[in-house]
């Protein structure tokens, strides 16, 4: 059960969240979420989740690997945020977490009660639409807010027309 959303109350605004995960499709999700945020006078949250379990090494090696993963996350979110600033004209919030993607998405939604919509984009790889989209389809990790899943064939111009 998710806490009551506050985005419609005075002093709050609806936020859209997109996950930065290094896949080609995540840029479409960011573009759509950013356009929706701008068009509705809302906010945009960009979330990067560093996968858990990547740091099972000796302490010194683990610290180096964790720092490198953090730097990669910061670089990826900074790049996405810059594209949003330049192309859409809004300044997104950046959140970086470590752990299971589904668990961290749910945690961020619970902590920021203005987040009202999660935006994902389906991939076109033969392995399937992507891990987050697949988790929704498999109902193993249902999210407590509405989720918009963009088809893999939409161009930025088509996304602009829809948002």
Q: What is the CATH number of the domain that holds 65?
A: 3.40.50.620
Domain of residue 158 covers 15-162
In a domain, 68, yes or no: yes
In a domain, 144, yes or no: yes
Structural domain count, the chain: 1
Report pLDDT digits (tens) over 70-126.
999 999 999 999 999 999 999 999 999 999 888 999 999 999 999 999 999 887 655
Q: Under DSSP, is residue 114 helix (H, G, I), strand (E, B) or coil? A: coil
In a domain, 92, yes or no: yes
pLDDT at 18 (0 to 100): 96
Q: What is the pTM for the complete model shown?
A: 0.85
In a domain, 110, yes or no: yes
In a domain, 1, yes or no: no
In a domain, 7, yes or no: no
Rg (CA), the chain: 16
- DSSP of 22-51, one letter per residue? S-TTHHHHHHHHHHHHHHTT-EEEEEEEEE
pLDDT at 57 (0 to 100): 60
In a domain, 8, yes or no: no
More confident residue, 98 or 141: 98
CA 43 to chain centre: 13
In a domain, 10, yes or no: no
């Amino acid at each position: 059960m998710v806490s009551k959303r506050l985005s419609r109350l005075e002093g709050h605004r609806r936020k859209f969240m997109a996950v930065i995960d290094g896949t080609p499709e995540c840029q479409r999700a960011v573009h759509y979420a950013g356009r929706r945020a701008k068009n509705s006078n809302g906010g945009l949250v960009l979330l990067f989740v560093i996968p858990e379990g990547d740091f099972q090494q000796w302490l010194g090696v683990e610290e180096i690997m964790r720092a490198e993963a953090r730097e990669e996350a910061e670089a990826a979110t900074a790049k996405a945020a810059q594209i949003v600033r330049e192309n859409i004209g809004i300044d997104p919030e950046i959140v970086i977490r470590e752990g299971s993607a589904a668990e961290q998405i749910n945690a961020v939604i619970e902590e920021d009660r203005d987040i009202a919509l999660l935006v994902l984009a389906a991939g076109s790889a033969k392995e399937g639409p992507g891990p987050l989209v697949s988790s929704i389809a498999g109902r193993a990790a249902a999210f407590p807010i509405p989720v918009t899943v963009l088809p893999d064939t939409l161009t930025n111009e088509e996304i602009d027309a829809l948002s």
